[in-house]
Amino acid sequence: MTFSEVAQRVGGELAGLEEDFIVRGVSTLEDSQPGWVSFVGSTRFLAQAQESKASGFLVTRRALVPERPCIILDNVWKGVLFLLDHFHAPARPEPFVHPTALVGSRVSLGNEVSIGPYVVIENDVVVGARVRIGAHCFVGHGARIGDDSFLHPNVCILHNCEIGNRVILHAGVVIGADGFKYEMIDEQLTKIPQVGRAVIEDDVEVGANTCIDRASLSETRIGRGTKIDNLCQIAHNVSIGAGSVIVAQAGIAGSSRIGEQCFLAGQAGLVDNIEVGNRAKIGAQAGVKNNVPEDAYYLGTPAVPARQFMRIVADWNKLPEIRRRLRELEEKLSGEDDS
């Protein structure tokens, strides 16, 4: 495929040096070689691009690389995705059930499923078409997995949970473990049974070693198209709306409600029983203890609106000077009293 053909396929505009070539791959600016295409999404990387060995670039209009073949796109990732799909399309395994897999009774397996070594599928499970289940996965009784979903190795889906279509669960994900619910009864810390389920809607992706607990009585639900990073904790009864992003090590306590298209940055923590409005953003390491309105941006612990937090930070930097001046005033007043 030539560079000009790439431009046609992604709906881009050719610009810069008029030089066509056979595209042999896509890479970062640092790793490019002649014949490869790289990408520049910001003017910050223009100097680096000019030194790159790449033969051409996917760029925005503001980040045009001078005197080099370029394809202008509104979003360079559209072109990167096309090239990644072209050069690095994952090989789809042949449909099979490995002889070491244990499949229970009344299990429905869709067409073209692939089940790897030492998988355990309990009774009354429904597995959709073209599902891939990696080695050492566990699927509990009564669970359902939708079409075209992919369970990487060591995923655990516990009983009666539901996984939608085109869901990706990375290694070590646990769906439907008991929620963390204990009460003091007769002076003893007593476990409250967790008899609900967890539901993962279509097109969700969950990162490695993330845990999504089942509900106490009803359901924990992750909305369509939501993306969750590694090492996150989603507690019982939580609801996350469609198209949200949860970054690594974030934790959401029980029964909290996250709206649609929300963003929780790394290590953000939310207490139980609060609501976060649609399109709200929570900054890294923020500790949220109250409801967050729609379209708001909160930072800090306890979390406050971002502008308020920035004013607080500005005052933090003044504290040493304030402390010095306060000490001088105290010494001055003490001297006046002595006189």
Q: Which of 88, 98, 159, 236 is catalytic?
A: 236
Listed in order, strand segments (DSSP E) in 254-331 are: 257-258, 263-264, 269-270, 275-276, 281-282, 287-288, 297-299, 304-305
Q: What is the largest CA-CA distance in the chain?
A: 96
The full length of the chain comes to 339
Question: Residue 48: which of 24, 67, 28, 34 has the closest Cα?
Answer: 28
DSSP string, 169-190: E-TT-EESPPP--EEEETTEEE
CA–CA distances in Å: residue 328 to residues 240, 324, 338: 53, 6, 15
- The first and second tokens of residue 175, run together, are 């769906």
Question: Residue 226: which of 192, 203, 253, 249 has the closest Cα?
Answer: 203
Residue 238: what are its φ and ψ, rounded to 5°?
-70, 145
| 141: amino acid identity, one letter | H
Residue 276 half-sphere exposure toward CB, CA atoms < 13 A: 37
Contact (Cβ atoms closer than 8 angstroms) between residue 40 and residue 76: yes
Catalytic residue check, 236: yes
Which three-class secondary structure state does DSSP give residue 87?
Answer: helix
CA–CA distances in Å: residue 306 to residues 43, 118, 233, 252, 286: 27, 49, 24, 20, 11
Q: Which residues are catalytic?
A: 236
